[in-house]
Amino acid sequence: MLSYRHSFHAGNHADVLKHTVQSLIIESLKEKEKPFLYLDTHAGAGRYQLSSEHAERTGEYLEGIARIWQQDDLPAELEPYISVVQHFNRSGQLRYYPGSPLIARQLLREQDSLQMTETASQRFSAAARRVSERRPRPG
């Protein structure tokens, strides 16, 4: 089995693209009142500390989220995604990067639901704990 640790790559340019698209899809689904299910098949740990040894070793987030997260001139389509990243970094310092389950959790409405899976039980436990925490709204 391939051993992949997303903590080395969290917040990189691919994450920015993937999570922007994720946010746009969720926002589009919310245009209808009907509730929907968000299924995350690769939940990972849910949140990543960008000062961790893994993130610092590659520094990939510096060319991804770190380049854009506080820019004022971003397209409006990025607002839902960026507001979630800012929500997890209220101090104004980029310390944490939310993974797909936490981004979804912040953007989903009360009537929507989130299910997630992860092959690594330790990472799944971390994601499940973070997703089940009280959900304050960004803003």
pTM equals: 0.84
- How far is residue 74's CA from residue 95's CA, in Å, rounded to a whole number? 21
In tens, the pLDDT along 10-68 reads 999 999 999 999 999 999 999 999 999 999 988 887 889 999 999 889 999 999 999 99
Is 5 within the bounds of a domain? no
Asked whether 112 and 27 are in contact (CB, 8 A), the reply is no
Task: State residue 127's pLDDT score.
Answer: 55
CA distance readout (Å), 125 to 34, 46, 118, 132: 30, 9, 9, 11
Q: State whether residue 22 is helix, strand or coil.
A: helix
Provide the pLDDT confidence category of residue 1 given band limits of 50, 70 and 90: very low
Residue 4 included in any domain: no
For Cα atoms 40, 45, 50, give the angle at the middle one, nearest 5 degrees: 125
Backbone φ, ψ for residue 115 (5° rounding): -125, 145
Which CATH number goes with the domain that contains 48?
Answer: 3.40.50.150
Q: Is the pLDDT of residue 132 over 70?
A: no
Give the pLDDT score at 8. Answer: 86
Query: What are the Cα distances from residue 116, in Å, to 26, 44, 70?
Result: 15, 9, 29
Q: Render pLDDT for 53-107 as a digit per residue (tens, 0 to 9).
A: 998 899 999 999 999 998 999 999 999 999 999 999 999 999 999 999 999 999 9
What pLDDT is attached to residue 118? 76
Residue 41 lies in a domain: yes
What pairs with residue 97 in β-bridges? 48
Contact 35, 113 (CB under 8 A): yes
pLDDT of residue 83: 96
3: in domain? no
Phi, psi of 94 (to 5 degrees): -75, 100
Does the residue 90 lie in any domain?
yes
Q: Residue 119 above 90 pLDDT?
A: no
Question: What residue numbers bound the domain in which 61 lies?
Answer: 12-132
Query: Torsions phi, psi of 61, nearest 5?
Result: -65, -25
The reply to whether 1 falls in a domain is no
Q: How many domains does the chain have?
A: 1
Q: Is residue 137 part of a domain?
A: no
Residue 130 is predicted with a pLDDT of 59
The answer to whether residue 139 sits within a structural domain is no
Angstrom distance (rounded) from CA 90 to CA 86: 6
